[in-house]
C-alpha cells in the first residue's frame, strides 16, 4: 500500500513540475496600426482601436489616431485603392498600386496632408503581461516593421528601447522615414512588468515649419512572446523532490 502511495506521489510531483514548466511561456496581444482585434484592416478615416496620441509638441493630450483617407504621395502606399494621394503643392496625383494589406498609416486626423507643428508626437497602445511576470528576469520578445514622418523611437513603460542599449535590439528610422520600412526586434527584460504595459512610438516631425506627420506599424503576428522565468526555482525544487522520492524507493 505504501509503495502505491509513493508511486502516486511521484506521478503527482512529476505532473506538477511539468505544469510549472509549461506555465511560464505564452503570448500577448499587440496590434499593427489600423487593424481591429482580429487583425483585419479598419476602414478609411476612422479612429484606431488600439493606438491613441497621448502627447503633441504643445503638451500632453488624449487624441484618437485616425486611419487615412488622404495621404502624401511620398509616403509608403496604403492598403486601399480608395485612398487619395496628394503632392506637396496640394495637387492630386494618380493612386499607386495598394501595398502591404496589413496596416494603415495613422495621423491626428483622416487627412494625412494636413500640416502639423514640429516636435514629438506620442502614439501609444497598452498590452498585458501576467501577474507572474518578473521584471529583470522575465523575457519579452516582439518584432515588426515601421515607418514614420519623420524620425522615430520606441519606448516601453517610459524607457527608450531603440537604439540598442545593451538589453535591446532595435532600430531608429532616419529622416525621412516614410519612404520605406524599417525592421525592429525588441527583446529583453528591463522595463516590462506584470499587468498593464505601455508601448510608445515617438514620432518626431523634424522640419522647422509645419508639415505632415504620421506613423505606420506592423507587429508581426499581432502578438509578442513572454517567458516570466520566476518558475525556475520552483522547477529546481520539483527536481529535488523527485530525486528524494526516488532515493527513498531505492532504499526500501
Note whether 219 and 242 are same-domain residues: no
**Residue closest to 163 by CA, chosen among 127, 202, 131:** 202
Residue 197 CB contacts under 8 Å (≥ 6 apart), including other chains: 126, 127, 128, 129, 156, 157
- The pLDDT value recorded for residue 121 is 96
pTM of the model: 0.80
H or E segment to which residue 235 belongs? helix 231-251
* Range with top average pLDDT, 15-19, 221-225, 239-243: 221-225
Q: Which domain holds residue 84?
A: 26-229
pLDDT band at 12 (very low <50, low <70, confident <90, very high): very low
Q: What is the DSSP letter of 204?
A: E
* Residue 90 DSSP label: S
Q: How far apart are CA 107 and CA 252, in angstroms?
A: 73
| Residue 164: per-residue pLDDT | 53
State the distance between the two ends of the chain, measured CA to CA, in whole angstroms. Answer: 13
Which of 22, 23, 16, 46 lies closest to 33, judged by CA? 46
Helix (H/G/I), strand (E/B), else coil: 19: helix
Q: What contacts 16, CB < 8 A, 6 or more positions away?
A: 238
Looking at the fold, whether 203 and 220 belong to one and the same domain comes out as yes
Closest CA to 219 of 7, 16, 35: 35
pLDDT given for residue 66 in this prediction: 98
36 and 13, same domain (yes or no): no
Q: Are residues 15 and 113 in the same domain?
A: no
Residue 23, CA atoms < 13 Å, CB-side half-sphere: 15
Residue 32, classed as helix, strand or coil, is coil
Same domain as 206, residue 162:
yes
Percentage of the chain exceeding pLDDT 70: 76
**Owner of C-alpha cell 478609411:** 44
- Asked if residues 238 and 10 have their Cβ atoms less than 8 Å apart, the reply is no
132 and 9 within one domain = no
Tally of structural domains, the chain: 2
Whether residue 192 sits in one domain with residue 103: yes
Q: What is the pLDDT of residue 157?
A: 93
Under the banding of pLDDT at 50, 70 and 90, the label for residue 33 is very high
- pLDDT tens, residue by residue, 170-228: 566 776 789 889 888 888 877 899 999 999 999 999 888 899 999 999 999 888 999 87
Residue 88 sits in the same domain as residue 204: yes
Q: What is the pLDDT of residue 80?
A: 87
Same domain, 135 and 169: yes
Residues 6+ apart with CB under 8 A from 94: 85
Q: How far is CA 137 from CA 155, 169, 236, 237, in A?
A: 19, 17, 16, 18
Examine the domain organization and report whether 65 and 13 are in the same domain: no
- Split at pLDDT 50, 70, 90, the class of 47 is very high
Residue indicated by cell numbers 513603460: 157
| Domain of residue 183, CATH code | 2.60.120
Query: Using an 8 Å Cβ cutoff, are 121 and 205 in contact?
Result: yes
Report the alpha-carbon distance of residue 189 to residue 229 in Å, rounded. Answer: 10
Reduced to 3 states, what is the DSSP secondary structure of residue 119? strand
**Together in a domain, 34 and 157:** yes
Rounded CA-CA distance 123/177 in Å is 16
Instruction: Check whether residue 169 and residue 207 sit in a common domain.
Output: yes
Amino acid at each position: 500500500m505504501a509503495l502505491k502511495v509513493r508511486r502516486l506521489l511521484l506521478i503527482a510531483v512529476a505532473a506538477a513540475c511539468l505544469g510549472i514548466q509549461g506555465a511560464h511561456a505564452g503570448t500577448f496581444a499587440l496590434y499593427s496600426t489600423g487593424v481591429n482585434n482580429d487583425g483585419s484592416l479598419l476602414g478609411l478615416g476612422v479612429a484606431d482601436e488600439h493606438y491613441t496620441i497621448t502627447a503633441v509638441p504643445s503638451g500632453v493630450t488624449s487624441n484618437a489616431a485616425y486611419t487615412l483617407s488622404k495621404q502624401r504621395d511620398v509616403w509608403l502606399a496604403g492598403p486601399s485603392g480608395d485612398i487619395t494621394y496628394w503632392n506637396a503643392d496640394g495637387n492630386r496625383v494618380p493612386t499607386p498600386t495598394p501595398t502591404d494589406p496589413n496596416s494603415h498609416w495613422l495621423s491626428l486626423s483622416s487627412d494625412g496632408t494636413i500640416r502639423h507643428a514640429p516636435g514629438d508626437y506620442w502614439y501609444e497602445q497598452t498590452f498585458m503581461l501576467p501577474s507572474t511576470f518578473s521584471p529583470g528576469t522575465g523575457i519579452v520578445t516582439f518584432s515588426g516593421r515601421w515607418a514614420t514622418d519623420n524620425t522615430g523611437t520606441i519606448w516601453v513603460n517610459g524607457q527608450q528601447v531603440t537604439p540598442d542599449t545593451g538589453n535591446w535590439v532595435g532600430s531608429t528610422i532616419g529622416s525621412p522615414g516614410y519612404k520605406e520600412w524599417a525592421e525592429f526586434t525588441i527583446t529583453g527584460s528591463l522595463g516590462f512588468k506584470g499587468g498593464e504595459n505601455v508601448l510608445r512610438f515617438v514620432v518626431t516631425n523634424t522640419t522647422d515649419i509645419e508639415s505632415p506627420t504620421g506613423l505606420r506599424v506592423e507587429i508581426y503576428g499581432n502578438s509578442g512572446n513572454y517567458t516570466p522565468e520566476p518558475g525556475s526555482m520552483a522547477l529546481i525544487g520539483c527536481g529535488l523532490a523527485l530525486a528524494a522520492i526516488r532515493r527513498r524507493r531505492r532504499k526500501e
